[in-house]
Structure 1
């Protein structure tokens, strides 16, 4: 009983706490573009201007308040951050460090700044997760030099690990032209802040089977994947390749007011059915979404049956408890 009370007190404190997520790296690396891609503001990416100083915004993830810090990467700002670490770095839970993998001449400069940032974390006696994004790993651009770039990334991984001597390091390759790479990296990182992520994943696994789906992805409105389950590699590839576009299409329909008339999107392709549907929870205005892949027609009463309702109730209980 006492352990249960302690757990609930810690959960309450966690929900009330604001978690600081830091995006940093050199100018032009793509930090702001990554944030825009997560918010599905693709039309704004080409218009992005250099970030001036520290830009902050807040959003909620599974009931937790996330403070997102986008640190401009121009040299005068980098110097300011290092000279004022308490102001910019203190309290960081997750540091996202973005490296433009195609900007060869500046990679050494980028690594040196990364090492300076890690040193400041150590001075402040904080140990945030550090996530290195090798960005602009664009499929079409690297087609002819993919092996070379992958080899360079592997060498950089080893160099960084050896140099910083830091346990909480993760590495990902990302591209705004493959939105799932950004969604996947950010989801894996941010869900470490949520202690019930494993329970949520087990629930999704169970109900993917009960709902007779070949694959299922649950995401929130910030493009964070809360969990997924796939029958095979084909279903995994299909859903991962399309989830960002279903979210964007839903945004368009919302802007047009169409979502008030229809609450699901169904697409038939290659003999399979893609069903995109909101998962409406009690006691929270935050939207969640499901993308399911089925081999049989999902229309009619299928997704109004007791199994789907049971999934929604279980999902609600996990998030609200």
Structure 2
């Protein structure tokens, strides 16, 4: 029999939801693995993944959502739900016929947490918020927005009636990779206080450099550690998503190259994204590797390189001091 207990030094993140909700694809995406939406097979039982971010270890328990497995989980609460630090419940927004089933499963899990006398943070991912769904959601003549709000209210009240609260809701889609990265960044931040300070410092140092539209910081495993968008980009959400997603993809690819393996200011590359330039480089701090991307509305010139080097150097000093 498999032991699903988690070492006390590791935080257990439970990923639950009905079958075909997209749980495994989200984890694959966040862990920088290729997502094949056509051939993804249902998870059988429990799949465990490990992650380490800034020295904090996590174990992600991906619970297969088929009914036969859900029955087993609920019958053996301590084995499958014990020691949970955070629970991510994934709902397939496009599976309207099973909203009630998903809500019922969510309530069963909440009641098990209550019975086990544990209080993990609860997150709900309203998944498959894809382009077609988003178009209907933004169309006032369509019922999607009202239906979404009703569903969100039902999850909120279900948790509240059982003495819990939903810590946050996220609209996610594997076709909008940034939505998944940003959601998990918030989850990691709830366990790692250093992430807040890194995020704040990245924001401060980026704002001090003229012409930088956004900055993205990854660790050497491709985990998102910090992000900042210029104030005038907050209204241009499509542009933010395009640049941020392109930056993540480029950084993940860059760190796997020979150039990316050598950390230093001489190893800088640039990627054209629309009318903007994304510049990438690695740097070392406290004996570990990190990767930085910035996007500018200027050509790839000496000023852009200087901006990248300045932010990378400042972040390396700050991170090393926090080790």
Q: Could you say which TM-score interval applies, normalised by the shorter chain?
A: 0.7 to 0.9
**TM-score, length-normalised on structure 1?**
0.84
- Cα deviation, residue 230, structure 1: 1.9
Question: Who is 1:240 aligned against?
Answer: 241
- Determine the C-alpha separation between the residues in 2 that align with 1:153 and 1:279: 43
Question: Who is 2:168 aligned against?
Answer: 170
Indicate if the aligned counterparts of 2:86 and 2:122 stay in contact, CA closer than 8 A.
yes
Equivalent positions of 1:54-73 (< 5 A) are: 54-73=46-65
Q: Which has the higher helix share?
A: 1
- Cα deviation, residue 248, structure 1: 2.8
Indicate if the aligned counterparts of 1:187 and 1:225 stay in contact, CA closer than 8 A.
yes
Instruction: Answer yes or no: is 1:267 the counterpart of 2:271.
Output: yes
- Cα deviation, residue 48, structure 1: 1.6
247 and 169 in structure 1: CA distance in 2 versus 1, 3 angstrom threshold? closer
Indicate if the aligned counterparts of 1:215 and 1:231 stay in contact, CA closer than 8 A.
no
Any gaps of 5 or more consecutive residues in structure 2?
1-7
- Cα deviation, residue 242, structure 1: 2.8
- Cα deviation, residue 204, structure 1: 1.2
Q: How many residues matched? A: 303
- Determine the C-alpha separation between the residues in 2 that align with 1:255 and 1:214: 25
Indicate if the aligned counterparts of 2:12 and 2:60 stay in contact, CA closer than 8 A.
yes
36 and 218 in structure 1: CA distance in 2 versus 1, 3 angstrom threshold? same
1:162-191 superposed Cα distances (whole Å, 9 cap, x missing partner):
222123431111111111111111111221
Alignment equivalent of 1:50, drawn from 42, 47, 59: 42
Question: Who is 2:177 aligned against?
Answer: 179
- Determine the C-alpha separation between the residues in 2 that align with 1:69 and 1:41: 17
Equivalent positions of 1:1-321 (< 5 A) are: 17-144=9-136, 146-147=138-139, 148-165=143-160, 166-212=164-210, 213-220=212-219, 221-233=221-233, 237-253=238-254, 255=256, 257=258, 259-260=260-261, 263-268=267-272, 272-284=276-288, 287-297=289-299, 299-300=301-302, 302-303=306-307, 308-318=312-322, 320=323
Over the aligned positions, Cα root-mean-square deviation in angstroms equals: 2.6
Any gaps of 5 or more consecutive residues in structure 1?
1-15
- Cα deviation, residue 201, structure 1: 2.5
**TM-score, length-normalised on structure 2?**
0.84
Indicate if the aligned counterparts of 2:233 and 2:240 stay in contact, CA closer than 8 A.
no
293 and 304 in structure 1: CA distance in 2 versus 1, 3 angstrom threshold? closer
